[in-house]
Structure 1
Amino acid sequence: MTSIERTAYPRFKRLITAHELHLFFSPTRDELERAAGATDGDEYLLALPLMLKSCQRMGCFPALEDVPEQVVEFVRRAVELPEGTLPVYRAERTAKHHRGLVRKRVGVAYDQAEARRIAEQSIRKEAAAKNRPADLIDIALEKVVEAGLELPGFSTFDKTASKIRTEVNASICLGIHDRMSPLQRTELARLPEKRDGDGTTLFNRLKKPAEGPSRSHLKNLTKRMEWLDGLGDSVVWMDGVATRRITDFAGEADAGDAPALRDYTPVKRLALIACLVHKARMRVRDDPATMFCKRVATKIKKAKTELEEIRLAEQEITETLIGNYRTVLKDIDADGPARLALANAAETTAEFGAQFFRRQPEDKLRDAAAAADVGYPDNEGLVIDSETGIPSLKPHRSEGLTPSAKRLEQEIKARMPERTLIGILSRTAYWVEWWRRFGPASGNEPKLDDPFGRYVITTFVKGTSMGPYEAARHIPGVSGHELSYTADRHFSLVLLNEAIADLVDAHARLDISQAWGDGTTVAADGTHMDTYLALFTHFIPCGVWEAVYIVEGLLENTSEVKPTTVHADTQGQSQFRHLMRVVSPYARGRSPRPRC
């Protein structure tokens, strides 16, 4: 079963800000009047607005006991009911009547059969290109909402997506299997069993990335290309298969090892290996170009270094020749034109230039000394020794915190106690639920005993660059193999970016974040407190072009924060303009550029 937290199915989240309460759960005067006219008790008068606001926000009716207490309390105060009033329906007939009133008010229809039909049709259409159950459920949700229908229960979407996904995956794998010849199937089936020269399997050889940009490695790429092409024409195998499904199947095979492949059926095992072979054949044709560019870049860098060394050597020779020439003119041509020009320049400087340039700093120093003398009696920090006349500054001593500042400090410490780093990760994972983004490459639910704890610890270990086995020595209850297994098979760059987007969105929804702005104007430098501090997640060294990272951060942004104006320092703006001049011929007709 797919976890509801991994999907967009509407539900109450743990983190609900005051702004969201006022925005989504404040009944209007007309709604309160209609509720008062349709109810005859405090319990019903509270339950009906709760159902109305929940349906407006979620598109369905949650169980009243699942509504968070803070939402119930907020609506109770808005309706002006006594404390302790609870939303309860003592008769199902009354609840059904109220649901009908809410549907009429919201404008949704109750037709579960039609909703299931739309969901099944949309999931079957998209399953050919998408593999993750959560993505399929989200598409079905969108189509049902567009049809103006009340959403069925989550289990309905989950069972439909699981059933159709299994059928489509089996059809894709069988098609790949049937398009291979018997000899090709035999060769691919031997890859997880046959050993390479270094003792590892040939299946592991498929997953090896390209090595460094050397001539010997370039020759090895040629041999690798011949070996991969000898396995068969993977383009024929993948005929009619969506590119994204090939990528998902190849990623699932790449995340596993040879023993893990034995858990699959023979047909699916061959299909996964075939997709990995197809991706390896594509990559081996790109690697020579990448390697060539790296070698050219290395040569250019080396050439620039040698050119700078030649320039410095030539400059030293030139300066030596000029010095020698000056000495020759001074000693040999004592009465020549060069000597006379030097004497005239010295005379002009002595008569006018020296006095003029000397007078400027003298006047400034004199004014500064006079100002220091006038302020000396009141300057308690400056002391002049009576014997030596040497001035010195006393160390500045703070007058201490004011009573109001002390109270503020105590309140901040009480509300923000000291936390450990792993404690902060655990708390944000619980409230924001970013850990739900991680899971097996197959898209199925994790089969770990405690996925929450395992993902939090793995995030801590990977984020601190500690290493799984080193971390296992200091964290009881977990082994290095378990951490390494989770990091390799349940984490990926795509999933990590999705988790980061969840944190960015949660940060942007906080009241204190919205006090700084709505996120349309952001800063790409640490000198401004802005929403972009949470959005920009690249740490770059000094000396690199930050404009490239600004553009990359905007292009890869998948959060709800959509900046339109980026503030940068002088270097960032000049680099950004230069970058826009370079890419503008290729970016015409694309989305609007952000202003910088």
Structure 2
Amino acid sequence: MTSIERTAYPRFKQYPHPSELAELYTPTEAELELIETRTKSYEGKLRLMVMLKSFQRLGYFPHPECIPVPVIKHLRSCLQLQDWVKAIPSERQRYTYQNIIREYLGVKPYDKKAQKVIAIFVAAEAEIKDHPADLINIAIEKLVQEKYELPAFSTLDRLVSHVRHLTNNRLFQLVSDHLTSAEKDYLDQLLSSETEESTTNLNLLKSPPRSATLGGMKQLIAKFDAMMTFGDAQRLLAQLALTKVRYFAAHARALDISEFQDINLNKRRTLLLCLLYVAQVKTRDHLVSMYLKRILKIHNNAKKRLSELREKHLTQTSELLGTLAQVLTASKETNNHTALGEQVSSIFEQQGGTELLLQKYEEIAAYNTNNHLPLVWRFYSPHRKALFDLVRSLDIHSTSADSSVIEALHFVLEHQHKRSKHLSWDGDLSFMSQNWRSLVIKEVNGSKVLSRQQLEICLFSYLATEFKTGDACVVGSESYADFREQLLSRSECEPLLEDYCRQLNFPDNGAGFVEYLREQLTKVANEVDAFCADGKQFTINDRGEPVLKRLKSPPPSTEVEKLEAKIRKLMPERSVLDVLCNVEHWLNWTRHFGPVSGNEPRLKQPTERYIFTTFGYGCNIGPNETARHSRDVVTSHMISYTNRRHITTPKIEAAIRDIINAFNRFSLPSLWGTGKKVAADGSKFEIYEHNLHSEYHIRYNGYGGIAYHHVSDKYIALFTHFITCGVWEAVYLLDGLLKNVSDIQPDTVYGDTQSQSAPVFALSYLLGIKLMPRIRNWKDLSFLRPTEDAQYKYIEPLFKGTVNWNLIQTHWFDMMRVVLSIKAGKVMPSTLLRKLSSYSKKNRLYQAFCELGKVVRTMFLLEYISNMKMRREINAVTNIVEKYHHFLDWIFFGKQGAITDNDPIEQEKRLKYLDLVASSLILQNTVDISLAIQTLTARGEIVNRREIEALSPYPTRHLKRYGDFIVNLNHIPQPLETAINLPPEILES
């Protein structure tokens, strides 16, 4: 049976807050008139009103004894009745009153017609969705829409389960019928524990990729080849919705071999096929990622070798320079050319002769440049076979009309096994740089030929660039697919365009948009030029360099420190587990956890198990240490099993969302921020080197992955991504805002210097998001003037070019198509920004986004240099995310903060657990600080609002991390509602 807590099936709160009673259960004039006309006795009036308000709240008639006493008392008070008036009706009265209420509200009783309606509707939805709770919610929504009374939850659950079962069985049969005997045998042998090493099995499908070494790449290629002996699994899943395929794959991933044996054959094969399909897609992504990393490593090794050779030949360089100095000295001191020639000859003879000196010069000249390309081959040659195998295994296509790189790649693949030093080909090589052309194109016997070795590494290098820019795609991939196929079509965009532009106050055509933008840029530039006349914030020094006045940090307030000390004394000491238990009592956040099937968990004391698991992984202690300190309440196997089988990343995100929404109800966070601002920044977490996520990062000085947090100005994190160190962090800047579905919805995002990229500015502008990065190197960026004849008196040295308005106007619709596709959920901003992160000559859309971004960035920078208040605001908001990182470091204390799992899925789950624990502590601290402020004001102490605004929900001195780990759900905390509101005098001050 599905857990009712995981659904939207309405239920009473046993202890509703007075404000909730007043809002939801106070009778209206029409309702009072109804009971006056339909009943005469006091008991009848109360009973009818209780049933009416209960039905309005729930959508069904609850048993009279299930109605909370506070509701009855509230209604008795509203009707001005005495306590002796009873609210429980007789069976006959219940039947009569139910008909009265149905007639009054226009609601139909649940019958076979209603059952048929929702069965048809749920069956259609079950083709796309699978979780029973989601289907029950859909059924409830449909019944309310059709104005039907809701049946008992058990009735609804049985019906939905039956319909889901029938739908899934039909899909399992449909998939199984399309399988050949060989394909069935392949899927069946996945569950065999006695397969050969080269044969695919269940564990191989689930295994995460190793690090991007040559050995790791070879192993991944072998895995992909083994999976592809089945063929592309997508062709057999064409009749299934993608969401359904992903659910079946997640279900299969959670099962082990023994559990598969208990599943009927059609379902088993369908689950395995979905898992195989997802594994094929992910492996293609991993192969391309490894390819990019290996090509980058090859070039970095060549650059390093070039630097070493420069050092090695430094002595020879000094000797040659000394010889040149002697020649120049002799030339200066002697006017006789004959004598000078004799002296120069003598100098050359002393240094070993002209031939030796010329040889030394040629050696030095070869390495005294920045061109490392001649050295690449020696580092490429060990990878040659693996790179050819990898490229052959992928179906690579060009995404633009210029397919010269792909055509040249096919030529090289055809000649992989040739041993000749040179190849002849008259194809298009215009994409090559001059350095590459000098290496690749040679002249032999009067005809131009291609150096085979240099051509190979040249094309593999350019292919890596094509993948980065999106000019090449891999069929069947996800991260490296052709993003154009994910966009809305032109016919789908056109009906949406006018309304969307109206929402953002943009003109709905390219010419109008360009004119609007030109006017905005002109206006901002003129205003800033006039503002900078006084030279108080911005000046140009004698060297023509712009100088911006530095912001001074305000001195620390002793009053704030005193208030913090007073509050700290009033905050009770708690362990992290105590906090998780309190938040569970308030919000029941563990209801989101459970088996993949959506049924009730068959665990003993599941709530305690979920809390232990969250604590163990969220604090990075791990299952073993958590079990050791739990007084034998749980074992390490129980914790790891719960993590694998009952908890997924989306479930943790749902629990976090509940906490954020509860936190947002408090008045204290509204003093810290508006919720309309969010800061995004990354923090490095140590992870093992033997996985694809791990990468060395110069800025963080070590191997690891990046947790990219979006933290509200109210101090709570709204979303977190886990990315590799090598990824451009700004790619995920906008994703967090779109993936955030909590009640806190910001429209302004702050970031660090990485966020100032032109494509990010353009995309955020068209999405209606204001980008406010903190920029260190702002004076090095390009300011664009609106027209060529625009001149400025005080800020003229800033401008380095003019806007190409024609480019923006030409590609305006293409850019809006991208934005509308993002809004429709077809594609994420990160997917586009990954393609727009590297310069592409072919991609005119990229160039248009860059040009638009430079316009928007110019307006931002002009405001940035002229508005000291804005700069202070940027520093203040971005400092919040830095404080959040320190708070996480305190929570994630186990294993010295290192993530010890090599699976990317589990690595991301660790950070989601961490955010769940952090959000719980923030909520608890907010409650305790609010109660402390209430206590201080009740004592008559004056608490200044400005001092409260300087606080944060990150104190840790009263929290305990060590000792025995005890989950005590018998301790009932103070109701959450008691701490929601601060004293009115503070809010009004």
| TM-score in terms of structure 2 length | 0.45
Distance 1:74 1:105, change over 3 A: same
- What aligned pairs does 1:27-66 form with structure 2 within 5 A after superposition? 27-66=27-66
Residue of structure 1 equivalent to 2:267? 268
Contact 1:119 1:140 in 2 (8 A): yes
Q: 1:186: how far off?
A: 2.2
RMSD between superposed Cα atoms in Å: 4.3
- What aligned pairs does 1:237-276 form with structure 2 within 5 A after superposition? 237-276=236-275
Distance 1:136 1:308, change over 3 A: farther
Residue of structure 2 equivalent to 1:456? 611
The residue type paired with residue 129 of structure 1 is I
Q: CA–CA distance in 2 between the matches of 1:145 and 1:480? A: 45
Q: 1:478: how far off?
A: 1.0
Is 1:581 aligned with 2:762? yes
- What aligned pairs does 1:202-351 form with structure 2 within 5 A after superposition? 202-295=201-294
Is 1:480 aligned with 2:636? yes
Aligned residues: 505
Distance 1:93 1:514, change over 3 A: farther
Distance 1:79 1:537, change over 3 A: farther
Contact 1:10 1:58 in 2 (8 A): yes
Q: 1:488: how far off?
A: 0.7
The residue type paired with residue 191 of structure 1 is L
Residue of structure 1 equivalent to 2:101? 102
Residue of structure 2 equivalent to 1:112? 111
Residue of structure 2 equivalent to 1:340? none
Q: CA–CA distance in 1 between the matches of 2:212 and 2:749? A: 38
Residue of structure 1 equivalent to 2:716? 533
Q: CA–CA distance in 1 between the matches of 2:225 and 2:172? A: 26
Distance 1:258 1:35, change over 3 A: same
Residue 745 (structure 2) aligned to one of 563, 576, 580:
563
Q: Deviations over 1:201-259 (max 9, x none)?
A: 82101111222222333333332222111134423432412222221111111112112
Q: 1:397: how far off?
A: 11
Distance 1:147 1:174, change over 3 A: same
Residue 493 (structure 1) aligned to one of 635, 641, 649:
649
Residue of structure 2 equivalent to 1:430? 585
Q: CA–CA distance in 1 between the matches of 2:674 and 2:118? A: 35
Residue of structure 1 equivalent to 2:787? none
Q: Deviations over 1:159-201 (max 9, x none)?
A: 1111111122222222222222223222322222234677998
Distance 1:101 1:482, change over 3 A: same
Q: CA–CA distance in 2 between the matches of 1:533 and 1:556? A: 15
The residue type paired with residue 47 of structure 1 is R
Q: 1:472: how far off?
A: 0.7
SS where residue 524 of structure 1 aligns? Answer: strand
Contact 1:43 1:85 in 2 (8 A): yes
Is 1:505 aligned with 2:674? no
Residue 443 (structure 1) aligned to one of 595, 598, 601:
598
The residue type paired with residue 460 of structure 1 is F
Q: Which runs of 5+ in 1 are unaligned?
A: 311-395
The residue type paired with residue 819 of structure 2 is R
SS where residue 716 of structure 2 aligns? Answer: helix
The residue type paired with residue 55 of structure 2 is C
Is 1:467 aligned with 2:622? yes
Q: CA–CA distance in 2 between the matches of 1:557 and 1:297? A: 34
Contact 1:516 1:530 in 2 (8 A): no
Q: CA–CA distance in 1 between the matches of 2:47 and 2:302? A: 77
SS where residue 748 of structure 2 aligns? Answer: strand
SS where residue 535 of structure 1 aligns? Answer: strand
Contact 1:507 1:513 in 2 (8 A): no
Q: 1:14: how far off?
A: 5.8
The residue type paired with residue 158 of structure 1 is D
Q: CA–CA distance in 2 between the matches of 1:49 and 1:302? A: 80
Residue of structure 1 equivalent to 2:25? 25
Residue range with higher mean Cα deviation, 32-41 or 253-262: 32-41
Q: 1:491: how far off?
A: 0.9
The residue type paired with residue 745 of structure 2 is P
Residue of structure 2 equivalent to 1:123? 122
Q: CA–CA distance in 2 between the matches of 1:144 and 1:252? A: 29
Distance 1:300 1:37, change over 3 A: farther
Q: CA–CA distance in 2 between the matches of 1:429 and 1:449? A: 17
Q: 1:67: how far off?
A: 2.4
Residue of structure 1 equivalent to 2:5? 5
More contact order relative to length (CA 8 Å, sep ≥ 6): 2
Q: CA–CA distance in 1 between the matches of 2:158 and 2:620? A: 40
Q: Deviations over 1:86-120 (max 9, x none)?
A: 5211x222222222332233332224222211111
Q: CA–CA distance in 2 between the matches of 1:62 and 1:514? A: 37
Distance 1:280 1:139, change over 3 A: same
Q: CA–CA distance in 2 between the matches of 1:58 and 1:573? A: 50
Residue range with higher mean Cα deviation, 576-585 or 52-61: 576-585
The residue type paired with residue 216 of structure 1 is G
Contact 1:250 1:272 in 2 (8 A): yes
- What aligned pairs does 1:378-417 form with structure 2 within 5 A after superposition? 413=570, 417=572
Q: CA–CA distance in 1 between the matches of 2:723 and 2:619? A: 17
The residue type paired with residue 483 of structure 1 is I
Residue range with higher mean Cα deviation, 236-245 or 138-147: 236-245
The residue type paired with residue 502 of structure 1 is D
Q: Deviations over 1:111-152 (max 9, x none)?
A: 422221111111111112221111111111111111112112
Q: CA–CA distance in 1 between the matches of 2:233 and 2:21? A: 54
Distance 1:79 1:578, change over 3 A: farther
Contact 2:199 2:226 in 1 (8 A): no
Residue range with higher mean Cα deviation, 194-203 or 6-15: 194-203
Q: CA–CA distance in 2 between the matches of 1:568 and 1:579? A: 12
Distance 1:296 1:170, change over 3 A: same
Q: CA–CA distance in 2 between the matches of 1:45 and 1:246? A: 54
The residue type paired with residue 132 of structure 2 is P
Contact 1:116 1:156 in 2 (8 A): no
Q: CA–CA distance in 2 between the matches of 1:572 and 1:282? A: 34
Residue of structure 1 equivalent to 2:504? none
Q: 1:271: how far off?
A: 2.1
Q: CA–CA distance in 1 between the matches of 2:720 and 2:181? A: 49
Distance 1:409 1:236, change over 3 A: closer
Instruction: Name the structure where helix makes up a greater proportion of residues.
Output: 1
Contact 1:546 1:575 in 2 (8 A): no
Q: CA–CA distance in 2 between the matches of 1:45 and 1:513? A: 42
Instruction: Name the structure where strand makes up a greater proportion of residues.
Output: 2
Q: 1:540: how far off?
A: 11
